[in-house]
Amino acid sequence: MLDRDGLRARALAALDKPAKLGADLDLNRYEKASPPRPMLSASELRSLPTADRQRMLLAGVDLNGRDRCGTYLLVDTSVLHCSSQQEGVEVTPLTGALESLAWLGDYYWKLVEVDADKYTASAELDLHDGFLIRALPGSRSIHPMQACLYLDREGLQQNVHNIVIAEEGSELHVISGCTTSTRLRGGLHVGVTEFFVKKGAKLTFTMIHNWTEDMAVRPRSAARVEESGLFVSNYVCLKPVRSLQGYPTACLAGPGSVARFYSILAGSPVSDIDLGGRVVLEEPGCRAEIVSRAITNGGRIMARGQLIGKATGIKAHLECRGLIMGGGAMLAVPELEGHADGVEMSHEAAVGKIAQEEINYLMARGLDEEEAVSTIVRGFLKVEVPGLHPLLQAELDRAVTATQEKSM
């Protein structure tokens, strides 16, 4: 049963509770409401202003729906569109689902604590909407479901809560693009996402963030993976953002389950980014990998990673690489915790600059220094994710290339 009153009471008590990490934001600075917008049909989506559609496209969301199995679009506080073309994959606005689906009580706020900090509390008290995406047992989607969380209203705090469920034996791919209109200078995006990967299911979630220089972002997400399940989370944030803090956590609760976190970050001079990834391996035979690549050119990036091994025969690796190009600070904090005999965990962390030897090597092949540097940076940011849908890998690569074209 869903106890909204109980959740609200806990949230109220935590409304002033700062997060453990990241700058403490004053939530009173942000508006919590915006005028409602009407729903749009699929064809009306295609007639949204080109500039907006272009921004969404850069975040991996194609409103033509090409190569996608469904579309969810939230602009400011209103759901504009929500539809699935794929049998076996459901997408529903979360607020509606909370009213009509009693079983959602078993999922809502079950992995993320509602009173974890003021951001989770605020997301409960002033929830705008979000999506519930569910792949039915045994269903397999070829194309990804796309979801866009769009900010247009200046100074708005957008509160989103998403739930993604891959039922037993299903395969689901989701691409989530969070971005703003070109007019917008600043606002706050609070995004709670809870992932449930059931027995033998496979879920890949690719999140592309394209923010603006005055945006603050507080993602709060967690995943629970059952026996032999696979959870892959990709996070790309290459455009300037003022303040970003998140520490997504996956709990591998069934034997033989796997989690992979990949993040690709670029900080601008104004950025203060603190992003982590944590996997708790609770059962024998679980595996995890956390890979982070970050570049700063003046801002501060903290890349955290934590692996907690609690059972025999688990295997996990953490890789964290940072480049400093033109000032700024790059901090890498890898942590390993083993709590059982026979755990196998490792990490490698490196912070540095581009090796002159590599630049010279490419120059000897005829590239000038600038071409050599951008080739190396593109290579640094290029992460090949095992098991990722080729379409999503292409989106990842495109996001990286697009930034390169603008900044180099």
Partner 1 sequence: MLVIEGLQVEVGGRMLLKRIDLEIKPGETHILFGPNGSGKTSLLMAIMGFPNYMVRGGHIYFMGREITGLPIHERARLGLGMSFQRPPTMHGLKTRQIVELCARGKVDAASLARRINMEHLLEREVNAGLSGGEIKRSELLQLMAQDPDLLLFDEPESGVDLENIALVGKTVAWMLQKDVEPAQGEPPPLRESRRQRTKMGLIITHTGHILNYLEADRGHVLFDGQLCCLGNPREILGCIGRFGYEECLRCLTATG
Binding footprint of partner 1 on the chain (CB under 8 A): 355, 357-358, 360-369, 372, 375-376, 378-382
Nearer to partner 1 among residue 312 and residue 360 (C-beta): 360
Task: In angstroms, give the least distance from the CB of 355 to partner 1.
Answer: 7
Give the amino acid at 21: L
Task: In angstroms, give the least distance from the CB of 377 to partner 1.
Answer: 9
In 3-state terms the chain splits into helix, strand, coil percentages (rounded to 5) of 20, 40, 40
Distance CA 284, CA 310 (A): 8
Task: In angstroms, give the least distance from the CB of 177 to partner 1.
Answer: 24
Task: In angstroms, give the least distance from the CB of 296 to partner 1.
Answer: 18
Distance CA 78, CA 128 (A): 7
Residue 111 parent element (H or E): none
Q: Is 164 helix (H, G, I), strand (E, B) or coil?
A: strand
Task: In angstroms, give the least distance from the CB of 354 to partner 1.
Answer: 11
Task: In angstroms, give the least distance from the CB of 14 to partner 1.
Answer: 42
Nearer to partner 1 among residue 214 and residue 395 (C-beta): 395
5 Cβ partners below 8 Å, 6+ apart? Answer: none
Nearer to partner 1 among residue 184 and residue 400 (C-beta): 400
> Cα 163 to chain center, whole Å?
13
Nearer to partner 1 among residue 142 and residue 350 (C-beta): 350
Q: What does the H/E/C string look like for 319-383?
A: EEEEEECCCCEEEEEEEEEECCCCCEEEEEEEEECCCHHHHHHHHCCCCCHHHHHHHHHHHHHCC
Nearer to partner 1 among residue 78 and residue 375 (C-beta): 375
Nearer to partner 1 among residue 345 and residue 380 (C-beta): 380
Residue 44 parent element (H or E): helix 42-45
